[in-house]
Chain A
């Protein structure tokens, strides 16, 4: 997953992000790097694993009952691990939960420009089951345009097709993706689905007949949208 050691300044930045030291634009920039640079993201995660034993010594404190009550309400009508069940149905149970396991998007928080209304940007990082292939996607809701990072997803005669899978579990095609990534304009009727927490997936499909009503193969990458 990591192509050799990170340059020293990147390694410092990963350590600083993992410690939580960064704020404002520095933090936003480091979080963006997590999406675009798998080696950097891996180093941040590795720091989390290295340092987490320190948290074992934190003194215990007891929360009030309202916490569990609220949790119970919030998970009441929500399948565990997001859209796993609908994805499983779609895939005929061929792939275990591991695919979704590797697909958790990073939550990004951008500093708010002081004088402007908050700007909303959707971001997702798609990953395969092993976490070895990733792809960063960002979305500009004002323009209705997805920006896709470069990828190596072309599979012979098949082309990667991007899907959004909203809460109803039904995949809707957003269109084919070129090898060099680039921009993908989202049809007006599909924009409503590009919301925080929904699943994105990529399957390899026949380009001649795209866009399709439903995927014909299992996803090679999946991820979730995070609004930042």
Chain B
């Protein structure tokens, strides 16, 4: 239990440091942004790389992400999201935007995505789980396995409906129904449906 408490304290301290760095960033302090970068760039780069499937593109996306953070730091609201979740969503959305503006991904990009998209090492991170994450994972596990699998693959891999249908070898209509029912179930389970 002492170990667990130490982990909690570390997580808490990391969060406090990140929030403080974001506040300094919002006030126009460049060293604040550098601190945010040091604390989060490996995580955000992991997200950009996973979704873009291309290291060079992921670095370009990551650049945009931190310029966005510089501009948007004032809009971070600790009451709405944890700082790392807020940053992770900016990174994910930037990477999705990038993917959707690529007319067609080249084969290399697709292959690279395969190698990173399907490993889903959720268990690795259990030690860092906060309450929101525990609830989400519990609710996902409560869904039909095909529904939760489709939701995870899409969200973490940045797939479109068409790509998801191809990967799961399932007709598009069926995939849509899994996603829609799964998302409805998830919302109900999370208690805000």
A→B interface (CB under 8 Å): 11-12, 15-16, 19-23, 27, 46-64, 66-68, 70-72, 74-75, 78-82, 84-85, 97-98, 100-102, 104, 107, 109
Residues of chain A within 8 A (CB-CB) of B33 are 71, 75, 80
B59 engages A57 (CB within 8 Å): no
Checking A22, A59, A107 against B46 with a beta-carbon cut-off of 8 angstroms, the contacting residue is A59
CA distance A159 to B29 in the complex (A): 38
A104 engages B70 (CB within 8 Å): no
In whole Å, how far is B110's beta carbon from the nearest beta carbon of chain A? 15
Q: Does B88 count as interface, using CB distance less than 8 angstroms?
A: yes
B84 engages A56 (CB within 8 Å): yes
Assuming A61-B45, A62-B45, A74-B67, what are 10 further A-B pairs, CB within 8 angstroms?
Answer: A22-B160, A49-B81, A52-B86, A58-B50, A60-B42, A64-B59, A80-B70, A81-B75, A97-B74, A100-B75
Q: What are the 10 tightest A-B residue pairs by CB atom distance, in nearest-first order?
A: A53-B133, A101-B75, A52-B85, A80-B28, A55-B88, A57-B125, A15-B183, A60-B42, A20-B96, A97-B74
Q: Which residues of chain B in 47-88 are interfacial with respect to chain A, using CB atoms and an 8 Å cutoff?
A: 47, 49-50, 58-59, 62-63, 66-67, 70-75, 77, 80-81, 84-86, 88
Q: Does B167 count as interface, using CB distance less than 8 angstroms?
A: no
Sample of 30 A–B contacts (CB below 8 Å): A12-B183, A15-B187, A16-B180, A20-B100, A20-B160, A21-B154, A21-B160, A27-B100, A52-B81, A52-B89, A54-B122, A54-B152, A55-B47, A55-B91, A58-B50, A59-B119, A61-B42, A61-B45, A61-B46, A63-B45, A67-B45, A71-B33, A71-B63, A80-B33, A80-B73, A81-B71, A81-B74, A81-B75, A101-B74, A109-B97
B→A interface (CB under 8 Å): 25-30, 33-34, 37, 41-43, 45-47, 49-50, 58-59, 62-63, 66-67, 70-75, 77, 80-81, 84-86, 88-89, 91-93, 96-97, 99-101, 116, 119-122, 124-125, 128-130, 132-133, 136-137, 151-152, 154-156, 158-162, 164, 179-180, 183-184, 186-187, 190, 192
B66 engages A71 (CB within 8 Å): yes
Residues of chain B within 8 A (CB-CB) of A59 are 46, 50, 116, 119, 121, 124
CA distance A81 to B72 in the complex (A): 5
A63 engages B59 (CB within 8 Å): yes
Residues of chain A within 8 A (CB-CB) of B164 are 21
Given contacts A50-B186, A80-B27, A80-B28, contact A56 B97 (CB under 8 A): no
